[in-house]
Structure 1
Amino acid sequence: MSLTKQFLEKGKGIIATIEKQEPVIQEVAELFARSILNGRMVHLFGSGHSRIMVEEMWPRYGSFPGFNPIVELSLSFHNLVVGANGQRQAMFLENVPGLAARILRNFDTDERDTALVISSSGCNVVPIEMAEEFQKRNIKVVALVSKLHLEGSSSKKSDGKKLTDFADYTLDTGAPLGDAMIYLNGLDSPVAPGSTLGGVLLINSIKAEVASILHKNGKSPKVLSSGKIVGEQRAIDLFESAYDEHAHLMAKLYENIGRHQ
């Protein structure tokens, strides 16, 4: 079997894993939709490559307002790899205790908010503490992890707790321990990771379910759309109105900052 076919077969396994989680996906969608219907937001956080899933949710074509993408560049800016702003620093910083609390200090959250925290291993300090901080604020947390990778890894948090210890719901990408899925003859380290594939499937399944719930409840989402589908003017109108709605929602996270500290 060719390597491409091997990867695609592994991908089919990931799809099957996601499919089995449909009941949880629907519960999570209900939770997130409730926040948006209440005029609040779903906070999204992921360090490292988990940032991909944050930006997959919002903003991009086929997505809509209601999500607060918390992308901390010091934890997720990989382009330079080495030197200033390099990957070594990012990997060090994602295990610095207390950083999650400093990040969340910038937002006036509400118990009606919800949160999605993404971490393949679920063992790095900042994502774990981010979920912990959300729960301290009585905010429901959904963890998106790779279950086999999490179970086979040790937490870097001093008390040994993992991301799932601070989650109300857990979703599994279906990726294997170590993430990479393809072995080559004579090479001891596998290539071609699978967590992004599973993560994107989960994100977009949730997105579709949330959109349906909003639409059924009289709050049709302002979806960022291509002019090739909805017409150029309609696409422009949606773009402007969606970004305006996002700005208004974000304003709520800043207007009372520090007054309840």
Structure 2
Amino acid sequence: MPTPSAAEFAAAAHAAIDRVSKEQAEGVVGAAELIVAALAADGIVQAFGTGHSEALAMEIAGRAGGLVPSNRIALRDVVLYGGRPLEALAGPELERGTDSAALLYELAAPHPADVFVLASNSGVNGCVVELARLAKENGHPLIAITSAEHTARVEPKHPSGLRLRDLADVALDNGAPYGDAVLPMSGGGRACGISSITAALLAQQIVAEVIARIEAAGGVPPVYLSANIPGGDEHNRVLEARYAGRIRRTA
């Protein structure tokens, strides 16, 4: 059996992108429609993911070409803003348990019209499921991005027995296999995770559909320019001022 190669991973990534784009097209439209409705009602997008799924939140919130009315929730917020000790970030307990979700929700201080986009490849860790539960309990639309194959094969860590996708208004499958890695190794096991690539794809497809709908209705989408081009900072500051106190842009 050959060992993994760059070419093999490129082929696997292309195949995953093609499959996810085709199979999740309807869900992407549904997610975009939820976001457009939230923005029209003066809501913003609250994005959250733990571990490598935080990359999804970074695709949604605060990047060039993305929507300005977006906020990235992160596990470290409980330390940066919530008064928890730095030691709280050590180990996997914060992600797997449920006790930080209420504080994260409180710190985000969501507007009633805000929409939540939550990502978790496994879709079973306690924190993300509890945050999803709180979002739904408080009337927020919820978009979930997870691996359908992986989440079906692992036990939920939330005491309710629920998975992230069980709570979502729109659940998108990132197409990652069980365990995430896609390339077999000669000595056994697999390497090279795919979920970050397909989750980023879904995030940007959603943004594209949101922008298309705002423009079709005659609006001007509130989209970031790169801060590294002339006029970018000025453009972005004007748009961010509309959402002062509602969006955080930490390093």
TM-score (norm 1): 0.83
In 1: Cα distance, 2:61 partner to 2:48 partner: 12
1:50 touches 1:120 (CA, 8 Å); kept in 2?
yes
User: What is aligned with 2:243?
Assistant: 246
Cα separation, 2, equivalents of 1:14 and 1:196: 11
Query: Could you tell me which residue of structure 2 aligns to residue 176 of structure 1?
Result: 177
SS in 2 for 1:68: strand
- Cα deviation for residue 74 of structure 1 reads 6.7
Matched to 1:99, the amino acid is S
Query: What is the deviation of 1:30?
Result: 0.9
Q: Which residue identity lines up with residue 24 of structure 2 in the other structure?
A: Q
Aligned partner of 1:42 among 40, 45, 54: 45
Size of the alignment, in residue pairs? Answer: 240
Gaps of 5+ in 2: 80-85
Q: Would the alpha carbon gap of residues 59 and 227 (structure 1) be closer, same or farther in structure 2, given more than 3 Å must change?
A: closer
Which of 16, 19, 24 is residue 21 of structure 1 equivalent to? 24
Secondary structure at the aligned position of 1:247 is classed as coil
Partner of 1:193: 193
Contact preservation (8 Å) 2:97, 2:125: no
Q: CA deviation at 1:85?
A: 5.4
- State the AA in 1 paired with 2:47: L
Match of 2:10 in 1: 8
| Alignment partner, residue 147 of structure 1 | 148
Kindly tell me: are residues 86 and 138 of structure 1, through their superposed partners in 2, closer, same or farther at Cα, counting changes over 3 Å?
closer
Distance 1:91 1:213, change over 3 A: same
C-alpha separation between the residues in 1 aligned to 2:98 and 2:122? 17
Seq. identity, %: 24
AA partner of residue 217 (structure 1): A
Instruction: Measure how far apart 1:26 and its partner are.
Output: 0.8
Say which is worse superposed, 4-13 or 218-227, in terms of deviation. 218-227
Question: What's the CA shift string for 1:135-159, capped at 9, x where partnerless?
Answer: 1001111110011111111111223
Could you tell me which amino acid in structure 2 is paired with residue 237 of structure 1? E
Contact kept in structure 1, 2:13 and 2:197, CA below 8 Å: yes
Q: Which residue of 2 aligns with 1:80?
A: none
CA 1:250–1:52: 2 relative to 1, 3 Å: closer
Name the CA shift for 1:49/1:217 in 2 (closer, same or farther; >3 Å).
same
Q: Which residue of 2 aligns with 1:127?
A: 128
Q: Secondary structure at the match of 1:106?
A: helix
Alpha-carbon separation, structure 1, partners of 2:88 and 2:16: 31
- Alpha-carbon shift at residue 57 of structure 1 (Å): 1.1
Structure 2: how far apart are the matches of 1:190 and 1:246? 44
Task: Give 1:134 shift.
Answer: 0.5
Q: Runs in 1 of length 4+ with deviation above 6 angstroms?
A: none
Match of 2:216 in 1: 216
Q: What TM-score results when the alignment is normalised by the length of structure 2?
A: 0.86
Corresponding residue to 1:60 among 45, 48, 63:
63
Q: Distance in 2 between matches of 1:241 and 1:147?
A: 40
**Cα deviation 1:220-244 (Å, max 9, x = unaligned):** 123222488xx723x2332222332
Distance of aligned partners of 1:133 and 1:13 in 2 relative to their CA distance in 1, 3 Å threshold: same
Match of 1:136 in 2: 137
Measured on the aligned residues, the alpha-carbon RMSD in Å equals 2.6
Distance 1:166 1:238 in 2: 37
Distance 2:233 2:78 in 1: 33
CA distance, structure 2, for counterparts of residue 114 and residue 9 of structure 1? 34
In the aligned structure 2, how far is the partner of 1:137 from the partner of 1:39? 16
Gaps of 5+ in 1: 77-83, 252-261
The residue matched to 2:171 in structure 1 has which SS? Answer: strand
